[in-house]
Structure 1
């Protein structure tokens, strides 16, 4: 129902009533109460008697007023009923149209919550012509979203049926921006269960909630206030000449993984080698802003790194993110391993068949290649043989994974040049641990 149409209709009825009141007061010398009563019974045609006998002029005015009132009431009824019908019809039609569009989306993003942060994210998605769906529980916010022309669902993002309606099964990423950390935690849990390969970023207000949300399945947790504080401090340094103005900055948490070359060296040395500034240290659940440069890093530490949007120059290969080629014809496994490797600090390079995988290894010369045993066009065994026939690729570590546990299959893979054979099982973390192990052995002096 359009508010302006209702407003104009009610204003017209009020004007019609005022015409009758002033007409009877002027022509028949009625009091205000008498004129109001006479105008109402005339407009509504209830058939009550006149307040007092009317003059001929009064009767002529009443006749015209009846005709005018009948036309005015008919028009008002038509406008009000039409608005209600239009609202119901259009609303239902628009909802079905929007649901159809959402059902056709593939590799889109889901935005849970449309506050100030959500609105900014939606505008950024729109400016970059990215498909996205907003889930919002507030009817008032949904009205604003509709005016902006965004696809949306009016519902609770913590409910699985709402996430399904937003197309979570075919989505690429999800942002949880609800006002309460427990709600965001529940969204992350539900989303991770419905789509294991989904990339999830969540908002967290309390520091104690970050670890819980990460354990629930989020790939990254962001505190808007902490991010804003770092940005403000950075702008102040630039404004006061303590630091030259640079390209836009990107902040991210980097974890010191098991076997990482960062373990045991100081924050100052890591910052120098990475070519980035370290603004925070997270150790045993405790955060330290601007940590001392002399602190030595331990396994499991997390660093809040602020660097230019351009790729930083590193001091040596050991500090650079390692490239890992993943070759598998199953798109779900490919996306899952890519996400886990990226989260572990590697650069995943996916390929969907043997020939594509071989070409990618030859082109990129990765630190590790994770190859499925059975592949289209070229098997994992054939890829290993072709790589090992080229001496310049001797440093590339080859991992074959297979569901076949027979000893002869494992021996066949090792004879072909594989460095490690892994059984394909439900624990995807074994692949990540194997990659970390072979990289550590790759840089070991005794390897």
Structure 2
């Protein structure tokens, strides 16, 4: 039981005992007896409200002695409780959080290992403001004892980086002993603050390029740096000239691929997809949880997100391997034609969606926002022309391609369709695959 609660219990008990004694020994009314007990225990020096008998005075002496001890115990417990509240880690944590929230143009150090300690020391000597993030409670306690700002937590989590005021920071050091963790820190930090200068630690030469792709501005390898410094010192001491080699800047970008409904990646493994893409998959996001370097045997599900690193001057990975099929809406009231075109588009690598009326097709287009829509000229409800007009009011030409197919090959119909916003007009023929080629040409000119 808490010491302060025990002391309060004893204090209340001795007051009630004193009031009971005065009530039965001196026949005091209850309120007067309680008052007499309180002023006696507290030793405030007030006079007796009624003359006391010999037995009453002896009782008062005993009550003063016992009450003084109990009151002292209660007072010490109360002071101790207040001091604990003031000096507890919870109070210090709140105070530190307020101080961190006032920081601007500061630096964030992720990891308080051997390299992190040296970085902290140099930043402190330079008078720079900084926040350290480390998952070790002991390391954070050591930092706080030194008077430094420290946040206990996983630096790969966005919420922890936000607690460190990453949006207001000017620089970040990713100094975790694990290269995948440093990669993910660099990725999250770059997304949260595009202007942040990020330096990341790397132990493996093969992962340096990946970390740069994820968003780091520079890479440090403690052992390589130490070796170069030793060699430079040796050359300087013996009259040699140290040469500095600058690596070419890598023009790279991280890219998240969303596994949508109908994607060919569903139920395939990470290893299979990586081989078909010719890109490493360095992250998997599923149900809001991130996994670094997922195992090759991991099976991909609908709704997953894959983190790929690609060259900036390349096509996007989705375009490169058609990992996420583009949606195509087909609107026609003839079920035979709908099934035919849906099958042809699916074989061509698209994700077809169908509707059998103008109203239903318009609602489907506005909801799904496909890459292209193939609209019959004659439809129940809204006509093909009306569908095109409504779509063009909501979606610009660059965002969606509209193709109208019709049995009427007169120039007037063609002009009406183009005026309504269609990108192309196709006359229905026995060659159904023609429309596939037209849509593919519009989407990939």
Which TM-score tier does this pair reach, normalised by the shorter chain?
0.3 to 0.5
Larger Rg: 2
TM-score (norm 1): 0.37
TM-score (norm 2): 0.37
